[in-house]
Amino acid sequence: MIRLDPRLLAARERLSHIKLVVPVMSSKGGVGKTVIAGTLALLLTKNNVETGLLDLDFTNPGLHILLGADIRSWPEEEKGVVPPKIYGVRFMTAAYYSGDEPLPLRGRYVDEVFKEILCITRWPGVEVLVIDTPPGIRDEALNILTYIPSPKPLIVGTSCPLAVHSVEKLIKVLRESNHEIIGLVENMADQPGPLRRLSEKYGIDYLGNIPYIKDLDTAIGSPDKLVELLSPYLARVIEKIRTIIS
């Protein structure tokens, strides 16, 4: 008889009260997934949605840099780990424990860390949990979807032909696994492009395009500026999430 890892049972219990879990996924790196995940969480909070943000791209975690979070202050521990609030968002990252040192984990050790973080973390009051996932279509990203209840992935991609091809692969993998895709965002695109056509092909909500923003680098570490720059372009994502949880 196959026995379920007790950590996964604990993780599901920790997440059971959350209305919606949104893994932000990309089929390759460098498409702006982390920026969109972090800003999405900030915007949800601005829209009076109690939001959690979990950085599971822990081989190269960057959300604490994006948010300007002090990772020297450890989360509170009370029957598990309670993430601190950063600009109103409950934020959890492995960087609290590893600092900015690399975590060169391989194979099953990656999976073990995922299970531990999901198992120990509590999300009091959180309605929506946004997860920054590892890029790609490998086990590291796909296993996350099996560990959490009813995830609805948000796909981020660009209009580069190589990226479009890999996004289509990701869509197929998610569809074959019967995961409901919340929508698709086309980043660094001045107008709707090939990802809009791809969303129409697969019947997925196209939730907007975000142009190349030359001042974006200056907003890293400044949540207020991130919200100011990106809020017009993520409005449809916010609207879709609010509709789901209402």
CATH number of the domain at 132, please: 3.40.50.300
Domain assignment present for residue 216? The answer is yes
pLDDT at position 112: 84
In three state form, how does the secondary structure of 191-244 look?
CCCHHHHHHHHHCCCEEEEECCCCCHHHHCCCHHHHHHHHCCCCHHHHHHHHHH
240 is a domain residue = yes
pTM here is 0.94
Total domains in the chain come to 1
Asked if residue 96 lies in contact with residue 102, where contact means CB atoms within 8 angstroms, the answer is no
The whole domain housing 121 covers: 6-245
Averaged pLDDT, groups of 10, the chain, 246 residues long: 74 93 94 96 98 88 93 79 95 84 70 87 97 86 86 96 93 93 97 96 97 94 97 97 96
In this prediction, residue 76 carries a pLDDT of 75
67 in any annotated domain: yes
Query: Is position 1 within any domain?
Result: no
Task: Please check whether residue 41 lies inside any domain of the structure.
Answer: yes
Written as one string, the DSSP assignment of 71-132 is TTSPPEESSSEEPPEETTEEEEETHHHHTTS-----THHHHHHHHHHHHHB--TT-SEEEEE
53-72: burial string, b at 16+ Cβ within 10 Å, e else: bbbbbbeebbbbebbebebe
* pLDDT number for residue 155: 98
